[in-house]
Amino acid sequence: MGSLANKNRVLASHSPCTRTHQIGTLALVVTTFFITRIFDQSFSSCSFSSSDVRRSQDLLLPSNGGSLSWPNRGYGSHLSLKIYVYDEHEIDGLKELMYGRDGKISADSCVKGQWGTQVKIHRLLLKSKFRTLKKEDADLFFVPAYVKCVRMMGGFNDKEINQTYVKILSQMPYFRLSGGRNHIFIFPSGAGAHLFRSWATYLNRSIILTPEGDRTDKRDTSAFNTWKDIIIPGNVDDGMTRDGSAIVEPLPLSKRKYLANFLGRAQGKLGRLQLIELAKQFPDKLESPELKFSGPDKLGRIEYFQHLRNAKFCLAPRGESSWTLRFYESYFVECVPVILSDQVELPFQNVIDYTQISIKWPSTRIGPELLDYLQSIPNEEIERMIAHGRQVRCLWVYAPETEPCSAMVGVMWELQRKVRKFHQSAETFWLHNITIVNRNLVEFHNWKPPMPLP
């Protein structure tokens, strides 16, 4: 009875639920709902302001909007690399691979043209925050060499290149320690690592940076391996890659004279010869002038890009090898590239959807059918592809990694994926106390060059 009385007193102490209370409660619920929505929208629209995402090494933010991010799987959430760069005075023979046997070839003379990546990447790594001066801390080792340029300028012949590479490798204890797995080499031309004739013996485990992924390469054995090597963008003229101040600006589609163009030498290659003949049949649709690389009729770099921008589509057939610099150049005149090279490999394919920014057409079907197809594409679709290309072309620019989007940032992400904790080779052994030794049981820190190589 007492408990019942207490219960009645408790109920009596509460005010009755009036209509005013009900309206107030409903208003509170509605207000809470809208405030929550506002915060949700604010966070979604400002998601890049999070400190976990804003770091430039975590996310690529193209300057004209949109975003490019490397997938977390296999790469990690942020860049964490230590790269040792060999000094040109550190190893006997390295300077010769950079400046020729007489040391008369300058880096500045090698930084221009399609092979300039060998110099640009070296210079950017020297200034990189990921560079370490301690070999024992390094995840990767970079071996600088301007060997393609040196060879083209007469500073070395093929035999000298081969002998010098073998000599420098025999002076690198850390190369021997890992069997070369954590060493990086650049070969920026269609010949790839074949510039070093004995690459298959010495560099078959090393990381090779190259624009060339052709598995045929006119040789019995391809120097490109999808498991360990990295495709890098070609070296576009610096005058075209500066935002807002390019030496040649794109034209509106309505002012472009041609449907398509091909600006290149025939080189006796079937696809190129077919395009030149096609241009003769349809001169109002396809421009393919005979390019002179010397003499008074030679196209200057400005004239070259002025021709390139005068078409909606830039045709990129294979030449001596599967890659062509024209593919990358086309993005800076906002001409949709049409790949006519079946074996081509393209950079950063884990991030870039190339079907959105280019066309790949079978090289066996070069003819009027190709022009008919290109002519059937409405301008709205062309503009869409150009807009997507405008967002990702920053990945073709060799700028410092401090830039939110650059070829160097892309290369760094791909290198991070290649970091594997290999501290052994066929000539590396270890004891019960974690001591690393060679076949003669000499501890690693006592290894003396030159060291025998396989």
Whether residues 188 and 96 share a domain: the answer is yes
Q: What is the pLDDT of residue 20?
A: 58
Residue 273 sits in the same domain as residue 336: yes
Residues 153 and 205 in one domain: yes
* 283 belongs to a structural domain: yes
Last residue of a domain, one of 207, 235, 263: 235
**What tokens were used for 128?**
């990189």
What's the confidence (pLDDT) of residue 55? Answer: 39
Q: Are residues 389 and 270 in the same domain?
A: yes
256 and 175: one domain?
A: no
Give the range of the structural domain holding residue 137, as residue numbers without chain letter. Answer: 83-235
Q: Do 171 and 199 sit in the same domain of this protein? A: yes
Q: Do 260 and 223 share a structural domain?
A: no
| pLDDT for the residue numbered 189 | 84
Boundary residue ending a domain (352, 378, 396): 396
Looking at the fold, whether 132 and 212 belong to one and the same domain comes out as: yes
The count of structural domains within the chain is 2
pLDDT at site 39? 39
Is there a single domain that holds both residue 219 and residue 271? no
Domain boundary among 396, 425, 442: 396
Q: Is 276 part of any domain?
A: yes
Which residue has 């408790």 as its token pair?
A: 10
Does 223 lie in the same domain as 274? no
> Is residue 52 included in any domain, yes or no?
no
Give the list of residues 6+ apart from residue 355 with CB closer than 8 angstroms, or none: none
Q: What is the model's pLDDT at position 79?
A: 92
Same domain for 271 and 191, yes or no, is no
In a domain, 75, yes or no: no
User: Is 355 inside any structural domain?
Assistant: yes
CA distances (Å), origin 214, targets 133, 322, 323, 324, 414: 35, 6, 8, 11, 19
Residue 224 confidence (pLDDT): 87
Residue 342, domain CATH? 3.40.50.2000
Distances, alpha carbon 231 to alpha carbons 185, 273, 350, 419, 454, in Å: 12, 27, 12, 16, 27
Q: Which of 220, 214, 225 is nearest to 269 (CA)?
A: 214
Residue 277 is assigned to a structural domain of this protein: yes
pLDDT score, position 10:
40
Residue 394: Cβ within 10 Å count: 24
Cα separation, 121 vs 128, in Å, equals 10
Q: 254 and 386: one domain?
A: yes
Per-residue pLDDT of the chain (454 residues; tens, 9 = 90+): 444 444 444 444 444 555 555 555 555 555 555 444 443 443 333 332 323 333 334 445 454 445 678 888 889 889 999 999 999 999 999 999 999 999 999 999 999 888 899 999 999 999 999 999 999 999 999 999 999 999 999 999 999 999 999 999 999 999 999 999 999 999 998 788 989 999 999 999 999 999 987 655 556 678 888 889 999 999 999 999 987 789 999 999 999 999 999 998 888 889 999 999 999 999 999 999 877 666 676 778 899 999 999 999 999 998 888 889 999 999 999 999 999 999 899 999 999 999 999 999 999 999 999 999 999 999 999 999 999 999 999 999 999 988 889 999 999 999 999 998 766 788 889 999 989 999 999 999 999 999 888 7
Q: Is residue 340 part of a domain?
A: yes
pLDDT of res. 23: 57
Asked whether residue 417 is assigned to any structural domain, the reply reads no
